[in-house]
């Protein structure tokens, strides 16, 4: 029954998101539920902790589930970078939130054996203290210059990520503001660096993904709406 419910939840969300990409967030889900989603043709999965991602990826490797694309979406500590980069089928990191972390990723680039690793720079558009992310245009510019200034690299500047405000009485309005701000920053960065391809926006979770979609999100990160029982 669990697999049927998960497949049904996925179907409902995928109809809503149209051209956007769904990243199914698995941090509270056992690996068997993740495999059930995979069998329902969901291949992009997001994890918050490197250890949990490594454990799930190991099971997927053992079962030869090779279409999977793993997304690291939680705060990444510099001392976990090496372990993360070694995970097979790692596809993207949505939470590059500081120059120091980017420097560590570049330093450890040879630990990554895939063809390309997509990087999203996390921007703290809500300016809440409990969130990480680039706070100023200057910091973000320095990070982008560092990444784009390198020669050929498997690490690709792919987009920006943010989260809506947590501590607010005006949840929907604040979420909309945060997402609008990220879209504005993305367009500004594209112009400043004369990027040939449009930056992708990673924004929206179970409680606010519909707002994010209205503001142009390309990647939504949804967990409970897929894996939590709605009976």
Domain boundaries, the chain: 2-227
CATH class in words for 2-227 = alpha beta
Which tens digits make up the pLDDT trace of 110-127? Answer: 999 999 999 999 999 988
Q: What is the mean pLDDT of residues 120-147?
A: 93
Which tens digits make up the pLDDT trace of 174-204? Answer: 999 999 999 999 999 999 999 999 999 999 9
The SS3 assignment for 229 reads coil
Specify the pLDDT at position 230.
Answer: 56
The answer to whether residue 91 scores a pLDDT higher than 90 is yes
42 contacts 7 by C-beta, under 8 angstroms: no
Q: What is the mean pLDDT of residues 132-161?
A: 95
Closest Cα to residue 219, out of 130, 99, 92, 81? 92
CA atoms within 13 A on the CB side of 50: 15
Q: What is the mean pLDDT of residues 205-221?
A: 96
Distance of CA 64 to the CA centre of its chain: 24
Return the residue matching tokens 């420097």.
103
The answer to whether residue 223 scores a pLDDT higher than 70 is yes
Specify the pLDDT at position 98.
Answer: 97
How far apart (Å, rounded) are the C-alpha atoms in residues 132 and 129? 8
The answer to whether residue 1 scores a pLDDT higher than 80 is no
143 contacts 175 by C-beta, under 8 angstroms: no
Specify the pLDDT at position 151.
Answer: 83
């Amino acid at each position: 029954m669990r697999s049927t419910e998960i497949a049904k939840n996925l179907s409902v969300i995928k109809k809503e998101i149209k051209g956007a990409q769904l990243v199914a967030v698995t941090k509270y889900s056992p690996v068997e539920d993740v495999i059930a989603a995979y069998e329902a043709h969901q291949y992009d999965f997001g994890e918050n902790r490197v250890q949990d991602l490594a454990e799930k990826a190991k099971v997927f490797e053992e079962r030869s589930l090779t279409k999977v694309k793993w997304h690291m979406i939680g705060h990444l500590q510099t001392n976990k970078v090496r372990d993360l980069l070694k995970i097979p089928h790692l596809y993207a990191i949505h939470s590059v939130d500081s120059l120091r972390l980017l420097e560590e990723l570049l330093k450890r680039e040879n630990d990554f054996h895939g063809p390309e690793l997509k990087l999203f720079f996390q921007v703290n558009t809500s300016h809440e203290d409990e969130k990480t992310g680039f706070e100023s245009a200057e910091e973000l510019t320095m990070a982008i210059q560092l990444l784009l200034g390198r020669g050929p690299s498997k690490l690709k500047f792919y987009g920006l990520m943010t989260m809506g405000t947590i501590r607010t009485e005006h949840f929907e309005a604040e979420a909309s503001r945060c997402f609008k701000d990220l879209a504005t920053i993305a367009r500004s960065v594209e112009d400043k660096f004369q990027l040939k391809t449009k930056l992708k926006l990673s924004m929206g979770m179970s409680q606010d993904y519909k707002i994010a979609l209205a503001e142009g999100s390309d990647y939504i990160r949804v967990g409970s709406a897929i894996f939590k029982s709605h009976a």
